[in-house]
Chain A
């Protein structure tokens, strides 16, 4: 068999690239936080929306969310601090828990929830679905991720009850049955999960025999945007929001999207088209990446890591994207110099730093005023200094908390405290906007870098690396419902085909 494969390897490679169609209409949506305080309303809304997009596309969806169907509260939402007025607001402001006062909690309302995301329950469930599914299922994770102090494959999915699954563990599960998988991971440090596509989760460029590829909101080393407890979905700018909007052809607010490009020209909007749309249009703080882009990063020759980039850009989709982004960022030239880009980036980061310092100073001031007011309250109502005691319970039962609240509102320092706290909320928004703007410039640098590496791969890369890259592209270019498309064969399928021909 090995000899046969050696002799006919060019034939197999050709088959590998041509592929044949098979059904792939299963999606597994996993979502939610790891505990109540880390289970934001945005995640619940995202999961519901992703479910609806997938179902509309005719895909069967298995959903796993936080504690499953347990009626206990597992999601929290925070009302806007600038519009909502909680009861006992002054007390909440002075004793430092205004966010707590604005928080509402509920049990998740995700439909068709198959079960909890606890690692001990999720992993066997995943294993069952993957072994029963023909083709390339899609795994979507919407939640939080943990960093790694060692290799890329040590990053984790943070699951309910503070359990976790690392990229290495998931890789082991997939490799066990050589399962095919496409994935969309939007959590912090999600880039480490690109190792799922490779044979060795720790390192190396050799791809797994199975067909695996995916898209992540960030690299293995950075935080991702999109864990807001806000309920206003028009504010959401996370990877999920743009990626699935491009796939469904409409935004979360039902506005039709007409500018999603079919980059490979096959007449279908593929997952890769959706990713490229997100790269171009998401004004977020994410530097998103696909597995093929991760492959380019990994492939980069060692010497090129130490050299200044050449000024010219090759002709490919990343160069086109970078030119459009440069114009959108108000550069006069679609191919500005590296120095010009760095200049704008530096300005943006300095602006962010100024806001951060301003916020830090106000934060210290707020803390000082709050402490003064707290001391005055304790002097007048000593029982207030010891919560969870009988004295405090009596104070609360006698309605004196209301009295303290009113007294605080009459103090001369209180209006300043309130004003500063509102300013802090405002500064936090401004900092996020400044970070998003700076990241757009970083994205421009990243797109130019990808354009150059891709050009370089085709200029001087080994044939086996070009083939691996193209296998990843073929996988990423599948549409959401890949039954409509030619899917790339896995090496395993090619081998089994040759076995039967033997």
Chain B
């Protein structure tokens, strides 16, 4: 009987790391737009006036769903780079503990600045800035929890 080739066996630590990386990428990719939608809805209700509220009350739900899916597709241009950035950050953070402080700071800066830039670029009004900023903060909190959770397990 041949002995198993140890070199060909998957390293369980590396494999788990890979799964987490993929998980992180898809979490950011899939959750960014729904979180944005949720935050924007909250602000719309709080503000009292938004197309979203009128659509919810006066149009069939399927149109809202279409609009939601449309939003998913349109935001891929933003969410894919953000998800990639999260993966890069996670890899740096996981391998070099000394850099964690800086990556955290970098995230705050990147997301905050990105929100501001996108807000100013797309619509020069505060209406967009607030939901984007709050979405960023939620994503960041989620991300930090993700990192913390897997760091404890290591």
Contact = CB atoms under 8 A, between A and B. Distances in A.
B6 interface: no
B49 A221 contact: no
Nearest to B64: A305
Contacts of A219: 58-59
A305 B52 contact: yes
B131 A221 contact: no
A307 interface: yes
B73 to A, nearest CB: 9
Interface string A340-375: 111100000000000000000000000000000000
B81 interface: no
Contacts of A310: 125-127
Contacts of A272: none
A287 interface: yes
B130 to A, nearest CB: 8
Contact of B50 (A287, A308, A446): A308
A446 B59 CA distance: 13
B40 A221 contact: no
A342 B43 CA distance: 14
Contact of B51 (A222, A287, A300): A300
A163 interface: no
B119 to A, nearest CB: 10
B71 to A, nearest CB: 6
Contact of B49 (A287, A302, A338): A338
B70 interface: yes
Using C-beta atoms within 8 Å of the partner chain, give the interface range for chain B: 20 to 34
Interface in A288-322: 300, 302-310
Contacts of A448: 49
A309 B50 contact: yes
Interface string A216-252: 0001011000000000000000000000000000000
B139 interface: no
Contacts of B131: 306-308
Given A338-B47, A338-B48, A341-B49, A303 B54 contact: no
A309 B36 contact: no
A445 interface: yes
A69 to B, nearest CB: 40
B17 to A, nearest CB: 36
B44 A308 contact: yes
A344 B126 CA distance: 25
Contacts of B109: none
B118 to A, nearest CB: 10
Nearest to A312: B125
Interface string B70-88: 1100100000000000000
A152 B53 CA distance: 20
A2 interface: no
Contacts of A338: 47-50
Contacts of A305: 51-52, 55, 67, 71
Contacts, number: 86
Using C-beta atoms within 8 Å of the partner chain, give the interface range for chain A: 20 to 34
Nearest to B47: A308
Interface string A438-451: 00001001101100
A304 B125 CA distance: 11
Interface in B1-54: 36-37, 40-41, 43-44, 46-54
B122 interface: yes
Q: Which of A304, A309, A340, A449 has the most CB of B within 10 A?
A: A309
A302 B72 CA distance: 11
A339 interface: yes
Contact of B71 (A287, A306, A341, A342): A306
Given A221-B60, A309-B127, A304 B49 contact: no
B128 to A, nearest CB: 6
Interface string A419-449: 0000000000000000000000010011011
Contact of B48 (A304, A306, A341, A446): A341
Interface string B97-108: 000000000000
A103 interface: no
A310 B129 CA distance: 12
A343 B47 CA distance: 11
A309 B128 contact: no
B129 to A, nearest CB: 10
B74 A303 contact: yes
Contacts of B41: 306
B132 to A, nearest CB: 10
Interface of A: 219, 221-222, 287, 300, 302-310, 337-343, 442, 445-446, 448-449
26 contacts: A219-B58, A221-B59, A222-B58, A287-B58, A305-B55, A305-B67, A305-B71, A307-B44, A307-B52, A307-B131, A308-B40, A308-B44, A310-B125, A310-B127, A337-B48, A338-B47, A338-B48, A338-B49, A339-B47, A339-B48, A342-B53, A343-B48, A442-B54, A448-B49, A449-B51, A449-B54
* A-B pairs with lowest CB-CB distance, top 10: A338-B49, A338-B48, A339-B48, A308-B47, A342-B48, A309-B49, A306-B40, A308-B44, A308-B50, A307-B127
Given A337-B48, A342-B53, A445-B49, 11 more contacts: A303-B128, A306-B36, A306-B51, A307-B50, A308-B131, A309-B49, A338-B50, A339-B47, A339-B48, A342-B48, A448-B49
